[in-house]
Amino acid sequence: MSDELAKAYDPREVEPRWSRFWEENGFFTADPRSGKRPFAIVIPPPNVTGSLHIGHAFTLTLQDVIVRWKRMSGHDVLWLPGLDHAGIATQTVVEKQLAKEGKRKEDLGREAFLARVWEWKETSGGAILKQLRLMGFSLDWTRERFTLDAMLSRAVREVFVSLFEQGLIYRGSYIVNWCPRCVTALSDLEVETEEEGGSLWHIRYPEVGGGPGIVVATTRPETLLGDTAVAVHPDDERYRHLVGKSLVLPVLGREIPVVADPFVDREFGTGAVKITPAHDLHDFLAAQRLGLPAINVMDERGVLNQSAGPYAGRDRFLARDAIVTQLSHEGLLVNTVPHRVPLGHCQRCHTVVEPRLSLQWFVKTKPLAEPAIAAVEDGRIAFVPESWAKTYFEWMNNIRDWCISRQLWWGHRIPAWTCRGCSELLVAREEPAACPRCGGRELAQESDVLDTWFSSALFPFSTLGWPDRTADLARYYPNDVMMTGFDIIFFWVARMIMMGMRFADDVPFRTVFINGLVRDEKGEKMSKTRGNDVDPLDLIARHGTDSLRFTLAALAAPNTDPSLGEARLLGYKAFVNKLWNASRFLLLNLSGERAARYEFSSLPVASRWILTRAQEVAERVDSALGGFRFDLAAHEIYHFLWDEVCDWYIEIAKTLLARPEEAPRARAVLLEVLGTSLRLLHPMMPFVTEEIWQRLPHEGPSIMVAAFPRPDASKTDPAAVAEMQRLQRIVTELRTIRATYEVEPKRRIDVTMAAPAAPDRAFATGHAELIRSLARVERLEVVSEATDAPRTVKHPVEAFELRIPMAGLFDIAAEKSRLDRERRKLEDELTGLRARLGNPQFVERAKTEVVRESRERVAELTTRRERIEATLRELGSDSVA
Q: Which residues bind Zn ion (CB under 5 A)?
A: 179, 181-182, 346, 348-349, 351, 419, 421-422, 424, 435, 437-438, 440
Nearer to Zn ion, 32 or 432 (CB): 432
- CA gap 58, 320 in Å, rounded: 46
Task: Tell me the closest approach of the beta carbon of residue 421 to Zn ion, in angstroms.
Answer: 4
Q: How far apart are CA 104 and CA 94, in angstroms?
A: 10
Give the CA count within 13 Å in the CB-facing half-sphere of 684: 31
Q: Which residues contact 584 (CB under 8 A, 6 or more apart)?
A: 4, 5, 7
Q: Which is nearer to Zn ion, 315 or 750 (CB)?
A: 315
Distance, in Å, from the CA atom of 323 to the CA atom of 326, rounded to the nearest integer, reads 5
For residue 303, what is the DSSP state?
B
Nearer to Zn ion, 186 or 230 (CB): 186
Q: Which is nearer to Zn ion, 286 or 419 (CB)?
A: 419
Give the angle 749-750-756 at the CA atoms, nearest 5°: 140
Query: Which residue number, 422 or 596, has a Cβ lying nearer to Zn ion?
Result: 422
Beta carbon nearer to Zn ion, 440 or 571:
440
CB of 497 to Zn ion, least distance (A): 29
- Cα–Cα distance for residue pair 160/168, rounded to 1 Å: 9
Closest approach of Zn ion to the CB of residue 115, in Å: 25
Which residues neighbour 538 within 8 Å (Cβ) at sequence distance 6 or greater? none
* Min dist. Cβ of residue 220 to Zn ion (A): 19
- CB nearer Zn ion, residue 417 or residue 708: 417
What is the H or E stretch that residue 770 is in? helix 768-774
Give the C-alpha separation, 208 to 248, whole Å: 6
CB of 52 to Zn ion, least distance (A): 25
| Least separation in angstroms between CB 434 and Zn ion | 8
How would you class 244 by CB atoms within 10 Å of its CB: exposed for 0-12, middle for 13-18, buried for 19 or more? exposed
What's the closest the beta carbon of residue 348 comes to Zn ion, in angstroms?
5
Give which of 521, 588, 514, 591 is closest to 558, Cα–Cα: 514
Nearer to Zn ion, 61 or 452 (CB): 452
User: 87 vs 808, which CB is nearer to Zn ion?
Assistant: 87
Strands (E), 775-857: 777-783, 792-797, 800-805
Nearer to Zn ion, 424 or 506 (CB): 424
Nearest distance from residue 49's CB to Zn ion, in Å? 15
Cα dihedral 526, 527, 530, 534 sign: positive
Q: CA 242, 244, 245, 248 torsion: positive or negative?
A: positive
CB 86 to Zn ion: min, Å: 14
Nearest-angstrom CA–CA distance, 344 and 367 = 28
Smallest distance, Å, CB 28 to Zn ion?
38
Distance of alpha carbon 626 from alpha carbon 499, whole angstroms: 28
In the complex, minimum distance from the CB of residue 166 to Zn ion, in angstroms, rounded to a whole number: 24
Other Cβ atoms less than 10 A from the Cβ of 331: the count is: 9
Q: Shortest gap between Cβ of 448 and Zn ion (angstroms)?
A: 16
CA dist 801 → 230, 554, 755, 876 (Å)? 94, 41, 7, 22
Instruction: Count CB-CB contacts under 10 A for residue 870.
Output: 11
Question: In the bound complex, what is the minimum distance in angstroms from residue 416's beta carbon to Zn ion?
Answer: 14
How far apart are CB 346 and Zn ion at their closest, in Å?
3
Smallest gap from residue 444 Cβ to Zn ion (A)? 11
Helix (H) or strand (E) holding 17: helix 11-24
CB of 482 to Zn ion, least distance (A): 29
What amino acid is encoded at 165 in this protein? E
- Would the CA dihedral through 56, 58, 64, 70 be positive or negative? negative
SS (H, E, C) 98-162: HHHCCCCHHHHCHHHHHHHHHHHHHHCCCHHHHHHHHCCCCCCHHHCEECCCHHHHHHHHHHHHH
Using the minimum distance from each CB to Zn ion, give the nearer residue, 418 or 470: 418
Of the pair 301, 855, the CB lying nearest Zn ion is at: 301
**Closest CB to Zn ion among 424 and 712?**
424
Q: Which is nearer to Zn ion, 179 or 727 (CB)?
A: 179
Closer to Zn ion by CB, 446 or 672: give it: 446
Contact by Cβ (8 Å): 271, 236: yes
Smallest distance from Zn ion to CB 353, Å: 8
DSSP letter assigned to residue 84? B
Residue closer to Zn ion (CB basis): 179 or 751: 179
Name the minimum Å distance from CB 181 to Zn ion. 4
Query: Do 97 and 120 meet the contact criterion of CB atoms below 8 Å apart?
Result: yes
CA atoms within a 13 Å half-sphere pointing along the CA-CB vector of 515: 30
Compute the residue count for the chain: 881
- Rounded to whole angstroms, the Cα distance separating 822 from 828 reads 10
Residues 628, 632: Cα–Cα separation, whole Å: 9
Q: Which residues pair with 481 in a beta bridge?
A: 511
Closer residue to Zn ion (CB): 196 or 505: 196
> Pairing mode, if any, of strands 214-218 and 191-205?
antiparallel
3-state helix, strand, coil in the chain (%, to 5): 50, 20, 35
**Identity of the residue, 284 or 417, whose beta carbon is nearer to Zn ion in the bound complex:** 417
Residue of 692, 711, 702, 560 whose CA lies nearest to 631 = 560
